[in-house]
Amino acid sequence: MAFGKLHDTRLGRKTEPILLSSFSTIAANNQNPMNGSLTSGHRLTKLNQPKKSKKPKKLKKAAVLWTGGKDSALAFELCRQDCEIVRLVTFVPLTGQPFRAHPLAAMRAQAESIGLPHQCIEVDEPYRVSYVAAIRQLREEGVEVLITGDIAPVDGYPNWISECAEGICQVMLPLWAVPREQLLAQLQARGFEAVITLAYHRHFGADSPVGKPLDAAMIERFRAIASEPPFDLCGENGEYHSCVLDAPYFRWPVALTGARQEQTQEYDYLVWQGAERSEDPAFAG
Residue 241 belongs to some domain of the structure: yes
Whole-number mean pLDDT of the chain? 83
Q: Specify whether the CB–CB gap between 245 and 254 falls below 8 A.
A: yes
Task: Determine, yes or no, domain membership for 149.
Answer: yes
Residue 108 lies in a domain: yes
* Interval 189-199: pLDDT, tens: 999 999 999 99
Q: Give 275's contacts (C-beta < 8 A, 6+ positions apart).
A: 103, 105, 106, 108, 109, 110, 254, 255, 256, 257
Give me the percent of the chain exceeding a pLDDT of 70: 78
Amino acid, res. 188: Q
On whether residue 152 sits in a domain, the answer given is yes
CA distance 182 to 234: 10
Helical pair 180-189 and 216-226, crossing angle rounded to 10 deg: 170
**Domain-embedded: residue 10:** no
pLDDT digits (tens, 9 = 90+) for 104-139: 999 999 999 999 999 999 999 999 999 999 999 999
The answer to whether position 26 is within a domain reads: no
Looking at residues 211-223, what average pLDDT do you find? Answer: 96
Domain assignment present for residue 239? The answer is yes
Q: What is the domain extent for residue 111?
A: 61-277
Residue 125, domain CATH: 3.40.50.620
Answer whether residue 32 is part of any domain: no
Give the chain's domain count: 1
